[in-house]
Amino acid sequence: MYKFGAVQKKIVLALLGGVALGLSSSPDHFYKNFRKLRKEWGKINQQNFNRSIKKLADRKLIEERKLANGSFKLVLTSEGVQQAKTLSLLGSSINFKKPKKWDGKWRIVIFDIPEKERLFRDILRDHLKELEFFKLQQSVFASPYPFEKPILELVSLYSAEPYVRVITALKIDNEEKIKKHFKAIK
């Protein structure tokens, strides 16, 4: 993976965020993402910005495209998109507060991700481990905590919906063994 400087990170994540804005499912989601982008964009020094743009272009992670009206726009290349997605996921973790009382439901994540999508498969497994999911089988993980939404956002970011299922279940046959893994649940 390309090693990004602080300003470069903001640029590629802002450009990637533009894609996220376009895919927003509701006006509330759109404005929430837009506020985050605007806040980060305002922190960038112009001189550092120009230098970072040049480096990203030299590495073929972004392109400058001239428009008919004489202005230009910055666009992530396909390699830039992959690097930005990886940076977005590796640079931050899914933050989620565990509820104090268990609702009695299991969240089960199952996946069958093709070899060509190995990067996402590894990232998904890392996040499941970070969220303390219990590994039932090679591509099956369980948790008593309601992590459905962040997991589905991660899957959506990588357009991996055909390969991943998130199931909410009331019972698992070896439940006692799994409960021991999650000592805090009652």
Render pLDDT for 58-107 as a digit per residue (tens, 0 to 9). Answer: 989 888 888 888 887 878 888 888 777 766 655 554 556 678 888 999 99
Q: Which residue has the higher pLDDT, 41 or 106?
A: 106
CA 138 to chain CA centroid, nearest Å: 22
Question: What per-residue confidence (pLDDT) applies to 81?
Answer: 80
Please provide the CATH number assigned to the domain covering 106-181.
3.30.70.240
Q: How many Cα neighbours within 13 Å face the side chain of 69?
A: 3
**How much of the chain exceeds pLDDT 70, in percent?**
75
Q: Which pLDDT tens digit goes with each residue over 144-162?
A: 999 888 888 878 877 789 9
Q: Which segments of the chain belong to CATH 3.30.70.240?
A: 106-181
For range 136-151, the mean pLDDT: 90
| Overall pTM > 0.85 | no
Given pLDDT bands bounded at 50, 70 and 90, which one contains residue 108? very high
**How high does pLDDT run on average in the chain?**
79
How far is it, in rounded angstroms, from Cα 149 to Cα 99? 15
Q: Which segments of the chain belong to CATH 1.10.10.10?
A: 6-90
Please provide the CATH number assigned to the domain covering 6-90.
1.10.10.10
Helices (H) and strands (E) in the chain, counts: 7, 6
How far is it, in rounded angstroms, from Cα 57 to Cα 64? 8
Residue 66 Rama label (left phi>0; alpha psi -120 to 50; beta)? beta
Question: What per-residue confidence (pLDDT) applies to 135?
Answer: 93
Question: What per-residue confidence (pLDDT) applies to 34?
Answer: 64
User: Is-contact 11 49, C-beta < 8 A?
Assistant: yes
Given pLDDT bands bounded at 50, 70 and 90, which one contains residue 130? confident
